[in-house]
Structure 1
């Protein structure tokens, strides 16, 4: 089956309204999906499992960074895994974007592909969110030795070699900058890890806006960066 060497790693917290649809859509292209239920208080884990995902449960809420690290460790347990995709549970990511990013990394000249909502005009983010995320990107680029346009996009494709070296210790929003920093400092055969960006469409739905995710997450990211 196509894409058997890919695992989608999906941090999951109280997304019972949408997670079954997200998993079912993803599995039409990517059969291997693992959801890390991060202490949800609803039926998220059961619904993800019924939709065909593998589910690993945290007994308490630890944060998205911790969920990703658990997902990485799970995916590494599959010797056939070559690529990990970090993918959100709330329906904001697009499977077609993942396919394009995988086409890019399969060319073999990069080990990481970052999604960027700022490389085309498809993503309709508010002015406030754009400004906060641009500030976070400026900070991240200045402190990690990388040059990205959207360092806090949750859609990434990572080669197994990179996943094996990642060790996320920032459990909450600052984990995104930690991932970039660790990738920026990685060396393979004495050379810095090669990466690329691809334009992606982040779909801010009525559901995600109702949860207050759009601007508030961006502010949390910037606040945690400054605090750290």
Structure 2
């Protein structure tokens, strides 16, 4: 086997790429609409919040004012929270409404109250004309346990969210109503995770 490319192979490759580019250019020419998206990151695999915070960094880079409302996780110190609060507080607002995971608080009334406080903050940020992107981190968990009313959340996103504001909702077990309402839904699939082998959450990977 040789790494050399014959002249005939190079020509065939160029012709193939030209056809692909032409097809893609035709497709892209039809994609002219812009809108504020409702995005859902769900599923049992890792990466839901990580992807959401990746978009927050993109917004910061593009000078798009943004906000994070973090549900459930509470005062768990994360790298993204530290970075945003210490380096990008002017570009991104950061709110924590949870008091910790439900199995830690063991107080349903407190959990419900915290989630509802978070939702009120979320609505304020979404409606603020200065904000272009809002990340509702782990809100799907609050919805899953019915700490928030799914119909109210969906109705607000569909009828009151400003047309050009993006909202991303993360967390496992996204409810069908939210999936139906969303423009973009990504399900993270768990294939392997070191936690199953006794490896604890790692700084820089999970938090």
Q: If the length of structure 1 is used for normalisation, what is the TM-score?
A: 0.30
Q: Greater Rg, structure 1 or structure 2?
A: 2
Q: Which has the higher helix share?
A: 2
